[in-house]
Structure 1
Amino acid sequence: NATGIAGGDLTLTYSSTVLTAKSVAATSLVTSAGITLIPNLNTAGEVRMSLAGANGISSGSGALITITFEVNGTATPGSYELKLTQTVLRNDQEQVIPINSNTSGTFTVFQPRPGISVSVSNAQATPGTANVAITIDVDNAKGIAGGDLALTYNADELTATGVARGPLLLSSGIALVPNLNTTGEVRMSLAGTQEISSDSGTLIVLGFGVNGSATPGNYELKVTRAVFRDDQAQVIPTDSNTSGTFIVQAPKPKIDLPDQGPNFGNVVRVGHAGEQTFEIKNIGTGNLVVTAIRVDDSSFSAQPVNATFPVTIPAGQSHGIKVFFQPLVSGDHHATLTISSNDAENSGATLSIRATAPPGENPPVADFSPSDTTGVSPLTVQFTDTSTNSPMSWAWSFGDDSTSTQQNPTHIYQNPGNYTVKLEASNPAGNSSKTGTIHVISKTPVADFSATPTTGEDSLGVQFADMSQNDPTSWLWDFGDGFSSNEKDPKHTYRQGAFDVTLTATNAAGSNTITKKSLISVTGSIKVAADIQCNAGDGKLSNTKSVSAGSGDKIVIEVFATGYNNAQGVEITLSVPDISAISGKPQGASPEFPAVINTIEGNQLKMSAVVLGAPKSYSGALQLVGTMTLTLSSTFDSTIVTVTEVNFGTGLVKSDINLNVALGSPRVRFADKNGDPVYIILLVGATPFTEDFEDFIAFVGSFPSKKGDPHYNVQCDTNDDDTINFPDFINFASAFGQNAATRNSQPVPVTKP
């Protein structure tokens, strides 16, 4: 009944602790009549409004004024009155229009609704699994009518295979539009006109496949977008968003056995055998590896069909196991078969087996067949049981303190001899035995050896090493130079020449000999043919030494003396079988007698070293007084040169003379009958034999030598160079004849007279 209203005053009160008036506006009912609205919001809890116009409202009813309120954040939920405490309306004549009724309004403050909680379920599967369900679940879902969601996943390990509505969407008729076009992400849109009425439940169901190459591990399923709206398209807040975990498991095997194990019934008698087969299945996702099968009754045994342990059974496949029943005693047999595998949850799976064995019949008749009855040690013999009447156990004795309980054993005889073999075969009805003989003989050695070195200079030390086969027990060496040895790996010293070496290796089976022709070649050695003979009265040394030499060798003869008186020179006479063996004339030199005269008479050569001018005399240390050198012709393989005479002339005094014959370079002294090099000291005359003479003899015994030689005497090493040689000889000779108080060295113990 608003017709005629042209002005007035209104006051509306409200609870200012709950609400705050924000604005006041006139409606079209007021503005169309040209009426002005003047609001006043200055007083908390009160809105004052004045209307003023020249014309009255022409319509009978409608909204007059719109007031906007804000609900305070601290407002307590409840119902609050909005009351018009003043309502004065006037017409265009300023006359008050009566009010028939004044109805208050109610402002209801609701309890704030909780936000929506989103969570993704967990899952686990092994690589290659085709379809695994994942759910997106919500709490506080009431009021949802639409929205948008996105879920991310690891595309290297997983593949999204499908999206479907869950019970909450199905019950409210809300449509689901999925988008799987982006790898690693699932996008989902919700659209409906009816809100979800349930408070919680499954919103969406997703399907995932695990890639065949997936790496075992934990992978996150994360909702990266969750926007929900009500049926007014208003966004509903989301309180929490919990990711899910997809566990990619390593493949796991799982063993599956039949419900009943083998049952042999009562058909297998004692002394006989039967077999049955059952299947082991792998119903897991990884390879099942069966490592062993044990049975707690020795009458039973088991082994895989056409295989040996360990047996690998791929996922989804099976493998046959044979069970053998060979009863030793009659009666009921109940056994447990235990299967060891890599199934972590059932690594010792068991299966029961049953049988009833009737009594046996006759005791066995033992017999056997050896693969060999005679052979060379080490002899390997395979024994095969040929006993009859079904023996159940076997006891072998091989005759060498070795035994076996196998049915068909193999035995190795290491040593020669005759061995008695015995087999005792048994079953529940009794036993019997059988014997036989095995003859084992030795194998004849195959002789062989090595030598190091095989070439070198005089006094060549050669190490021999036995390389014979078939275990020789004794050895005989012939070194080709008149010497031999019974050692296994001897060492021998060679002089000049080429030598065959022979080894005979022997064991109980026999002997074998090998000869290696011209194996050792030594240059620069000399051989002794005769001892020194001294005729001191006339100053001559005759029949002194013979030297065997080869083509191209040089022979050097040196004469030393410790004294001479009015000597005119020294003359050396050589004898050779064939003078043509000498290449060129002898070459000579002498520091004291420089003029050299060479003459050839028949098969003798003479070198005369004479003094120019007055005769010379000398007394003192050992001194070189004459040298003669000759070379053998290359046309001769070998020849013997004999020093037949050294004539020192009438001036020779009774003193010491050293004669040294050397071959080649470096110079090698005389050798004794054992091939050891020595110096030859010729004592001419009557030098007093004092205690110095004992030292002299000791020196000769160690001269020449080096440290490590058996005859080396460190007290004869005058210059401490670990070698006793010519400088030591000269040092010793210079001190010879002095008494112990005046000479440089202490007396040398006599070691080799």
Structure 2
Amino acid sequence: MRYRYFRGAIAPAIIICCFLVFSSPAAAFVPPAGEYYGTVTIDGSPAPAGTQIQAIINGQVRGSIVTSVPGQYGSSCLFATRLIVQPTEADSASHQPIRLEFLINGVKADQTMFFSSGIRSVSLSMHHPDTPSPTPTPTVTTQPPTATPTPEPTLKAPVAEINGDPLSGNAPLDVWFRDVSGNDPARWNWSFGDGTFSTEQNPTHRYVSPGAYTVTLTVWNDAGNGFTAEPGFVRVTGTPFLMFPGSGRYPDDLDGDGKYEDLNGNGGLDFLDVILYFNNMDWIAQNEPEGIFDYNGNGNIDFNDLLILFDRV
């Protein structure tokens, strides 16, 4: 009785607030900045002071710092300077994990990861490619040296091989797949085992239902093709992740904290999400993984969660 009384009392208030707020456009979502610090090495030795480190998202610089001490960029101290990485609205438009790369003095670092907000320690390293030994100068003789023709490289058919991270976890599970095939493939066709496909070289895919998924990859170049199939390559546990009734899109975790606030999957947090939560509280408890919608962490779907979502709008 208390639940029904409170629900009947708060619904008119929420609906009135929605009509007041909807008169102005909703702000576009931009992920909060991330702050990075840690060690940095070049060819196994501490990077010298004055080394420039850049954060790259979608081929664009999203943050930069110059080291002041050897082998260290930024610091964990409260007021220390750190590498500030700020994605843009365009970087998060696809609602997929944001891939983050680093450059050390303009050369790609060994580390690549998914962007996350907040302060984070990341050790960076970079290795220059090995320089081939110089070819000895031939001894001059009375006879002119005979030139040895350079053989043309022979292109071989690619050998398909895959990797991914993470390969197990609860639904919804976002997996970044990597093509590690040999012999330089030029085209790719992934099958993720749940009826979806991709022609990207290194795609990211979200699994929404528990199960063991067989992942396949076919690769091509001008010399032929290669194929690999990995049974049970991705294992997803937990309760199936569903779309909310009438939304047509999967919910999204906008700030990467493991709690899904964008219930209608439109790319932002607004009063439509609050109304959707209010109208489907019983449905959430019966059908969705409760942990990702239990904002106060008390193990229940209740009106305290609704108020927390309302306060965030």
Shorter chain as denominator, the TM-score bin is 0.3 to 0.5
Q: Which has the higher contact order (CA 8 A, sep 6+)?
A: 2
Between Structure 1 and Structure 2, which shows a larger proportion of strand residues? 1
Q: What is the TM-score when the length of structure 1 is the normalising length?
A: 0.17
TM-score by length of 2: 0.37
